[in-house]
Amino acid sequence: MTKAHIWLRAESKPLEERIALTPDVARKLLEAGFKITVEESPLSAIPAQEYQGIGCDIVPAHSWQQAPQDTIILGLKELSEDNWPLVHRHIHFAHVYKEQQGWQDVLRRFKTGKGELYDLEYLVDNNNRRVAAFGYWAGFAGAAVALKAFGKRQQLDSTAQTDQPVLDKLASMPSKQALVDDVAESLSPLARPPKVLVIGAKGRSGRGAVEMAKSVGAEVTQWDMAETQVGGPFEDILDFDVLVNCVFVQEALPPFITLPMLETNGIEPRRLAIICDVSCDPYGTYNPLPIYASCTTFDKPCLRIIEGGNPVDLIAIDHLPSLLPVESSEDFCQQLLPHLLQLDNLNLGVWQKANKIFTDKLSQV
């Protein structure tokens, strides 16, 4: 007997090559009796043909709007901005529960269409720990991009070209090792290893950032709750070359750093040159780095937030794991598989909890 119908939609976010369902996981769902439809996608790192070969139905990109109403629409990133009602059950990272910009408009679409949202960020176990996350890969990629930017900055500084962008467009890498080799090459001309501070070092993202930084010989300092519990701002951050923020924020915190801190060098010149905000939530009220107002992108990865002879560049890309789309997707989908196998009953386990959060938030619209 056929179980639930899962519809893997093509991502609409530019340069998003990850996918919410890999062929290996899709095969296991098919074997369990689920029906799977996969949209063709010019962005995905995994072509639709790989799904067709295992028995999935293949349909044109963005055709999920015509799917039967009882279909479960599975994706990764938020839906494209629009205003027509949402009638299906959706699973993806929606970025609306922390009252980010436009959150009410998104939820209003669900309310009007009587659809439901099961936000991947809020699939949690009995200890409120996320059951599936890209965190490790976000931290790994974030540290990689930050270190690559630092290497380029040093080269530009040595030739007095501080007004030049520190990074060109980013492109996905074929493997973790290829990314490590690329960053190591960027740092090879430097006379000394960069000093890197990772905040939130004990979490998934933090562990990924620490591993990346150590793999290329950086001098890494790790902060977590013990080091930040007194509350910021923290002047010591200015003594590092690179800051990688990996803190998963669930409440308002005192800022770790502020723009006036960065603008004032004090007696000693500020050392901090590159900031990567892996947590990347400039639109909400829970941002511990209130020094920027919009995300950066793979096309324009760096934002200069301090000009002049000792500039500061910031990286805030909200889909960093796309730098390693295949490995990060495979890891995430394997974490999610046990729960996907329970999609026949959304009133149990992590799905029930996610739905309660949705209904509670919907009542505020």
Q: How far is CA 7 from CA 10, 35, 144, 348, in A?
A: 10, 8, 33, 21
Name the catalytic one among 95, 152, 195, 361. Answer: 95
Answer yes or no: 90 catalytic. Answer: no
65, 109 contact by CB (below 8 A)? no
38, 59 contact by CB (below 8 A)? yes
Rounded Cα distance, 6 and 30, in Å: 10
Burial 192-215 (b: 16+ CB within 10 A, else e): eebbbbbbbbebbbbbbbbbbbeb
Q: Interhelix angle for 204-215 vs 176-187, to 10°?
A: 50
Burial 180-191 (b: 16+ CB within 10 A, else e): beebeebbeeee
Helices and strands (H and E) in the chain: how many: 10, 12
Rounded Cα distance, 283 and 301, in Å: 18
Rounded Cα distance, 186 and 147, in Å: 8
Answer yes or no: 77 catalytic. Answer: yes
21, 54 contact by CB (below 8 A)? no
Q: How far is CA 229 from CA 249, 254, 256, in A?
A: 13, 10, 11
Name the catalytic one among 13, 77, 148, 152. Answer: 77
30, 36 contact by CB (below 8 A)? yes
- List active site positions: 77, 95
